[in-house]
Amino acid sequence: MRARTLPHSRLRSGGGTRIARSTRKSVVIAAVAALGAGLLAGCADDGKDEEGGSSGGGAGKTKITLGLFGSFGFEEAGLYTEYEKLNPDIDIDQTVIERNENYYPPLVNHLTTNSGLADIQGIEVGNINEVVNTYADKFVDLSKYGKESDYLPWKWQQGSTESGQTVGLGTDTGPMGICYRKDMFEAAGLPSDREEVGKLWEGDWAKLVDVGKDYKAKAPEGTTFMDSPGGLLNAIMGSEKERFYDASGNVIYKTNKAIKDAFDLTAEAAEAGLIGNQTQFQPAWDTTIANGKFAAMACPPWMLGYIESKSKPENAGKWDVAVPPKTANWGGSFLAVPKSGKNAEEAAKLAAWLTAPEQQAKLFSKRGSFPSAQAAYDLPLVKDAKNKMTGDAPIGQIFAPLAEKTPVQVIGPKDQIIQQGLTDNGVILVTQGKSPKEAWDNAVKTIDNNLEK
């Protein structure tokens, strides 16, 4: 998640149609780490001059700067070091802001003034529509560097204009699974085999809530079925083709029956005590992972890395992954190269290399970011992948078919604002004693106020 928000964390949306180096130094700004929720982002002082060009690297090298949000994982996975060895004349330096809502507004300001931009900028999927349709002229056409056939068709389309310019190359995607604790399912009298578990709720999110009621009847003391209302709501909404906007670009979340039904189903689960009362990617929620306070959660691949980072060692191998009731997506970001950079050509080459199938496979094996390059799915690092928390589960083989079946969603310019309003200013309130209607009304008020800004 780029908590991208982790993985790119990040408030991730699904596949969609458009409507300073001392050695290499990473600067991380903001205190809240969020692996995945679409809550990440960032734009910080990028160490560049006011004209937007990068300064030179050490010893006559060319320095390429990246402005990112959350945790893309390139540095942690060793990709920068590998690229520098392959290209001894290149020096890479990244600046990171943790949460996307703190990163994206400054990025827009930099694009507007055409100054202060890094050589490569990260773009969250919830913002890609606005960038592609409003700021495409500010960016290099990356179709000349990336290979379209390597990528999931809908992912390539998301980052490209109708005229064929590719503004951003996809770094990852977030096919949805349901991660669950095998031991807690067994304690509640439920099956623990992933095939059997998936069949319990096959085809209908309401069946998932029904399984939650069965879990509650015999649940281990002090636990809930799922982790949070925001997690459940994001998963349900992620399986819809039309969510917050229609294909003409009109805001429809208030009148879209699918969104209201998703909200009401999540509220029903909250009223029944089936889900925890925490907001995802906050310290109190982290504690519920560490202490085993819930049995299941909506789980894109990047969430496995977050689970591992917050879990106690003795919980390794106790998790597994089942297919969701419906295919869905939560997550995914892009790399874009501003034209104003002094090193745009070298930056474009680096962006293409970082997002190529081989590097996406390495990133998945080390950081859990699932490739948006479908050409990576047959590579051993993906096909044979396993995770410490899920033991022998073939996670690459579980998630790849889900990624390929992701619904092609309509992505609007303010998806992130709407999605966060429904979760953090809406359905969470039901766990705090508000009625579903009160929660919905508060979400609508918050969203509409933010859309008018």
Q: Which residues of 375-394 are buried (b: 16+ CB within 10 A; e: fewer)?
A: bbbebebbeebebebbeebb
Report the C-alpha gap between 97 and 351 in whole angstroms: 19
The model's pLDDT over 405-419, given as tens digits with 9 standing for 90+, comes to 887 788 888 888 999
pLDDT of residue 5 exceeding 50, the answer is no
Per-residue pLDDT for 13 more than 90? no
- Which range among 54-68, 153-167, 217-231, 302-316 shows the weakest confidence by mean pLDDT? 54-68
Q: How many CB atoms lie within 10 A of CB 222?
A: 8
The pLDDT value recorded for residue 50 is 34
Asked if the model's pLDDT at residue 92 lies above 60, the reply is: yes
Q: Tell me which of 25 and 84 has the higher pLDDT.
A: 84
In sequence order, which residues have a C-beta less than 8 Å from that of residue 393 and are 6 or more positions away? Answer: 194, 320, 321, 386, 387
* Per-residue pLDDT tens over the stretch 255-284: 999 999 999 999 999 999 999 999 998 999
d(C-alpha 38, C-alpha 55), whole Å = 31
Q: Average pLDDT for residues 305-312, to the nearest whole number?
A: 91
pLDDT at 407: 79
187-209: average pLDDT:
98
Question: Which domains does the chain show, CATH number per domain?
Answer: 16-173+331-376 (3.40.190.10), 177-328+408-451 (3.40.190.10)
Least confident among 41-50, 210-219, 276-285: 41-50
pLDDT of residue 281: 87
- Sign of the Cα pseudo-torsion (231, 237, 239, 244, in order): negative
Average pLDDT across the chain, whole number: 88
Residue 38: which H helix or E strand, with range? none
Average of per-residue pLDDT across 170-182: 96
Confidence of residue 305 (pLDDT cuts 50, 70, 90): confident
Contact 36, 300 (CB under 8 A): yes
Q: What is the pLDDT of residue 390?
A: 95
Confidence at residue 416, expressed as pLDDT on a 0 to 100 scale: 85
Question: pLDDT digits over 357-405, tens only?
Answer: 999 999 999 888 999 999 999 999 999 999 999 999 999 999 999 999 8
Neighbouring C-beta atoms of residue 446, cutoff 10 Å:
18
